[in-house]
């Protein structure tokens, strides 16, 4: 039986996995094609404070802002949800990945940068090592080992704007089917002088850069962005469905993070779910090497822990994508009349919707 692990991809998922394996005494090497880590470089990530704690990373130095709430806009209606307690941090992705890299190396993981792994490398590496694909949404490990497709994706375009951010305490989400079909546009204060402006669309709706231009030229946005200077942008994609298989003992391969589709379809957030998936994968690999247990235990544990939550996130995504701007405007009126904004301010949970539902039905608060 193989007793070493080769991880393809030094994003947060691959690095958290490597740290976990090294802590358990497993020989692990991570390969990444990039020289500068962080995906995409200079991007930010909004992560719930509870979710961040679950990853066990010393993340504080990567925090650039703290968020207390969100405002949802649709069809000239707005609903503001705010908590007295901080709900989420905005983190600089390069800094976060560097922290994860240092923590993994401190535990004894080897990290090799500027090394793109192709099919012949996979053939060689898999003779000696268990392979983990942590290589993102378009995973070549998943293709090489025939782990099945991810059926749903979003196309995104995000940009950074420099200027004085008026309200750095909350994010703004804009729903308009004619501008961002299948998802939404958002403004996130990365810090008091940097605003992230981004859109997501379903792939059938065409080009994300064109949607970004529609979004930034739309009436309300022109006024908001008037005082800012564009500082660069890039297109990317987000998987919003789970991969058909995440582990295979016969092939001795596993997938984690975006490669496995461990992403919340309602928001496109994948760092917390992918990081937790990586920790589960580390334990399954340890049990495989030391006790001969099947790697499939990882997939089973992941689906048990997150399957229901992902279904709820998917239902939320389908509901707002189907409603469009006008329907969302009506929904906002109804939510405000029912006091949903106050409820979300107290009990909103961006990672675990089932906890929110439980609180709603128990009528606590
Ligand atoms: C616009 C946008 C905004 C987002 N905002 C958030 C957010 O606010 N919060 C959140 O939680 N998530 C967010 N996400 C999602 C988040 O970025 C991903 O879920 C997360 O980065 C996945 O991490 P990962 O380690 O699985 O993969 P990645 O971060 O994609 O890392 C994969 C790594 O594999 C390497 N690689 C790929 N192929 C090879 C190869 N053949 N050889 C060697 N190396 C290879 C790549 O260079 C890369 O470093 C956002 C995504 C986008 C596009």
Q: List pLDDT tens digits, range 210-244.
A: 999 999 999 878 889 998 999 999 999 999 999 99
Closest ligand 1 atom number to CA of residue 270: 19
| Residue whose CA lies nearest to ligand 1 atom number 33 | 9
Would you give the DSSP letter of residue 174?
E
Ligand 1 proximity of 239 Cβ (cutoff 6 Å) = no
* pLDDT surpassing 90 at residue 331: no
Residue 9 CA, ligand 1 centroid: distance in Å: 9
Closest ligand 1 atom number to CA of residue 45: 8
At residue 291 the predicted structure's pLDDT band, cuts being 50, 70 and 90, is very high
Non-local CB neighbours of 216 within 8 Å, separated by 6+ positions: 197, 222, 225
Ligand 1 proximity of 173 Cβ (cutoff 6 Å) = no
| Residue whose CA lies nearest to ligand 1 atom number 3 | 45
Q: Please state the rounded mean pLDDT for residues 123-139.
A: 97
What pLDDT shows up at residue 55? 97
Ligand 1 proximity of 238 Cβ (cutoff 6 Å) = yes
More confident position, 164 or 361: 164
Spatial strand order in the sheet of 44-48 = 44-48, 88-92, 63-67
- Indicate the average pLDDT of the chain: 92
Ligand 1 proximity of 267 Cβ (cutoff 6 Å) = no
Count of helices and strands (H, E) across the chain: 11, 16
Closest ligand 1 atom number to CA of residue 135: 34
Ligand 1 proximity of 216 Cβ (cutoff 6 Å) = no
Instruction: Indicate the pTM of the whole model.
Output: 0.95
Domain boundaries of the chain, sorted by first residue:
4-67+85-150+241-311
Residue 297 CA, ligand 1 centroid: distance in Å: 24
Beta carbons of 253 and 271 less than 8 angstroms apart: no
181-209 per-position pLDDT tens digit: 999 999 999 999 999 999 999 999 999 99
Would you give the DSSP letter of residue 42?
T
Closest ligand 1 atom number to CA of residue 260: 26
| Residue whose CA lies nearest to ligand 1 atom number 35 | 9
- Domain range 4-67+85-150+241-311, CATH class: alpha beta
At residue 360 the predicted structure's pLDDT band, cuts being 50, 70 and 90, is low
At residue 39 the predicted structure's pLDDT band, cuts being 50, 70 and 90, is low
In sign, the C-alpha dihedral spanning 99, 104, 109, 114 is negative
For residue 34, give both structure tokens: 């990039």
Which ranges in the chain belong to alpha helices (H)? 12-23, 49-55, 93-106, 119-128, 140-144, 208-217, 219-225, 271-291, 296-338, 340-347, 353-362
Closest ligand 1 atom number to CA of residue 12: 25
* pLDDT surpassing 60 at residue 364: no
Ligand 1 proximity of 69 Cβ (cutoff 6 Å) = no
Would you give the DSSP letter of residue 205?
G
Ligand 1 proximity of 32 Cβ (cutoff 6 Å) = yes
Ligand 1 proximity of 31 Cβ (cutoff 6 Å) = yes
């Amino acid at each position: 039986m193989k007793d070493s692990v080769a991880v393809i991809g030094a994003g947060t998922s691959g690095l958290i996995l490597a740290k976990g394996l090294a802590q358990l005494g497993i020989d692990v090497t991570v390969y990444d094609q990039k020289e500068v880590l962080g995906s995409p470089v200079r991007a930010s990530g909004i992560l719930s404070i509870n979710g961040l704690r679950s990853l066990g990373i010393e993340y504080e130095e990567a925090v650039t802002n703290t968020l207390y709430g969100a405002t949802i806009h649709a069809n000239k209606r707005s609903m503001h949800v705010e908590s007295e307690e901080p709900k989420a941090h905005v983190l600089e992705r390069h800094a976060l990945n560097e922290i994860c890299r240092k923590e993994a190396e401190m535990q004894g993981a080897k990290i090799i940068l500027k090394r793109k792994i192709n099919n012949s490398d996979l053939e060689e590496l898999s003779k000696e090592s268990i392979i983990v694909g942590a290589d993102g949404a378009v995973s070549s490990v998943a293709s090489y080992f025939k782990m099945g497709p991810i059926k749903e994706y979003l196309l995104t375009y995000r940009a950074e704007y420099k200027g004085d951010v008026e309200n750095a305490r909350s994010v703004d989400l804009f729903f308009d089917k004619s501008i961002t079909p299948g998802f939404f546009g958002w403004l996130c204060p990365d810090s008091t002088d940097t605003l992230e402006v981004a859109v997501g669309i379903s792939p059938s709706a065409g080009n994300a850069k064109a949607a970004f231009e529609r979004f930034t030229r739309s009436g309300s946005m022109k006024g908001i962005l008037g005082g800012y200077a564009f500082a660069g942008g890039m297109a990317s994609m987000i998987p919003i469905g789970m991969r058909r298989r995440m582990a295979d003992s016969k092939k001795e391969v596993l997938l984690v993070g975006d490669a496995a589709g461990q992403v919340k379809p309602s928001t496109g957030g994948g760092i917390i779910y992918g990081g937790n998936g990586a920790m589960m994968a580390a334990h399954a690999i340890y049990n495989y090497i030391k006790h001969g247990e099947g790697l499939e235990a990882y997939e089973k544990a992941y689906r048990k822990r997150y399957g229901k939550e992902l279904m709820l996130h998917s239902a939320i995504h389908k509901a707002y994508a189907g409603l469009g701007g006008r329907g969302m405007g009506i929904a906002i009126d109804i939510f405000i009349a029912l006091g949903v904004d106050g409820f979300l301010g107290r009990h909103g949970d961006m990672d675990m919707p089932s906890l929110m539902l439980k609180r709603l039905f128990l009528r606590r608060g």
